[in-house]
Amino acid sequence: MRSKRFILFLILLLLVVSQVPFAYRRYKLSRLNSAIQQLNSQRNTPARQNGFVDYKGVVHVHSFLGGHSSGTFSEIISAAQTNELRFVIMTEHTEKDFDTATMTLSGMHGGVLFINGNEVNAPNGDRLLVLPGEVSIAAYPEEFKSLNTPGLNGVEVYNVFTNAKQINPVVAFFDVLWSQRSYPALIFALYLQRPDDVLKKWDQASGQSRLTATAGNDAHANVGISLKDSSGKNLVGIQLDPYETSFRLVRLHVLVEQNKSLDATSLLEAVKAGHCFIGFDFLGDSSGFSFEAESGGERKIQGDEISLKNDTRLRVQTPVSSRIVLFKNGAMFADETGILAKEMALSERGVYRVEVYLPQLGNLVATKPWIISNPIYVR
């Protein structure tokens, strides 16, 4: 009897000890949450950028149409409103017998602009996000055959699902048990990784063609455990990736000319032109970020081309003090920490882009990007 009690004690002790790392990870998330709240209190008020308005939204969203998800339109609309999004780009999986793009959300719903598109398989096995206006974006580019494909307008340089595939499911299970209730979105800070390989492929392709960088939320609301009744109503369960959480993680900020109303045409024209940037907004709202160039009295924003002259300059501005890293043709060009803005003269042609980091939030996210811009092409 005594030996059985001792064995039981050892088992319980091991269980307790095994949870110490997860308790500590939850503590780190608590510290991160406090740091983010303090950072948000220091934000500069976002302003219109050189005649453009910043609209934040999400790309690559699935509903019950086309399988892979049971998410409803009402859930998607509600999640977009809760996150104060201005647009959602739907990319439904295709079906043989009906047109899922036609059937999905489109137009204004609850004050949010919805754009209807499809995720399709190309003949060579590549996957594309096909949107109205003949806009085509490479999805899952780590598996893409070539980013120099004719007719390609953009590339999903970051995808939430691709990032999530690298997570150890056992570790994720216990992180969820400890932190899901208090920090449903911040849990992602434990797993966020800079997409090094994809950024390298995009930088290489940008030297030959202009491809808009986007981020894919790849939102399905299909991860979790639940018990349903015969009508499909949830009786009990846990949803690990509800739309409300997915829509917080990463967003596309699209810059639309202020003299244009927000609609499918103006938004997709801006995306196609590269007038947008990626913000990992669960670390803090990136609205207000600005990246532009001036040359000979002409001013251009990210996605644009500008001629090199004697007075050509790049300007970067962020809504909070940060680490600003400039890249030229894919190589680091400048790196400075603890600044709100950076301006520099240019003497060479090239493809210039920006990444922004928040080292003041602590080691957990110090080397993980907060903002990834689109390039300015200096010719």
pLDDT in tens, 304-338: 999 999 999 999 999 999 999 999 999 999 999 99
Q: State how far Cα 54 lies from the chain centre.
A: 15
pLDDT in tens, 58-90: 999 999 997 778 889 999 999 999 999 999 999
Q: Per-residue confidence at 53, pLDDT binned at 50, 70, 90?
A: very high
Q: What CATH number labels 37-283? A: 3.20.20
Q: And the tokens for 1? A: 């009897």
In the DSSP assignment, the letter for residue 251 is E
Q: Are 341 and 313 in contact (CB under 8 A)?
A: no
HSE-CB at 376 with a 13 A cutoff on CA atoms is: 24
Distinct helix (H) and strand (E) counts, the chain = 8, 20
Q: Per-residue confidence at 342, pLDDT binned at 50, 70, 90?
A: very high
pLDDT in tens, 228-240: 445 555 544 455 6
* pTM reported for the whole predicted model: 0.91
Domain coordinates in residue numbering, the chain: 37-283
- The span from the CA of 124 to the CA of 63, in Å, is 26
Q: Residue 357: which of 333, 374, 339, 375 has the closest Cα?
A: 339
HSE-CB at 77 with a 13 A cutoff on CA atoms is: 14
- The span from the CA of 331 to the CA of 313, in Å, is 18
- The span from the CA of 278 to the CA of 369, in Å, is 10
The yes-or-no verdict on residue 13 having pLDDT over 80 is no
Q: Residue 324: which of 300, 353, 295 has the closest Cα?
A: 353
Give the mean pLDDT of 102-117: 97
Residues in the chain: 379
Other CB atoms closer than 10 Å to residue 225's CB: what's the count? 9
Q: Are 153 and 211 in contact (CB under 8 A)?
A: yes
The yes-or-no verdict on residue 226 having pLDDT over 50 is no
- 36-50, 59-73, 215-229, 245-259, range with the lowest pLDDT: 215-229
What pLDDT is attached to residue 218? 93
Give the mean pLDDT of 205-227: 80
Other CB atoms closer than 10 Å to residue 223's CB: what's the count? 15
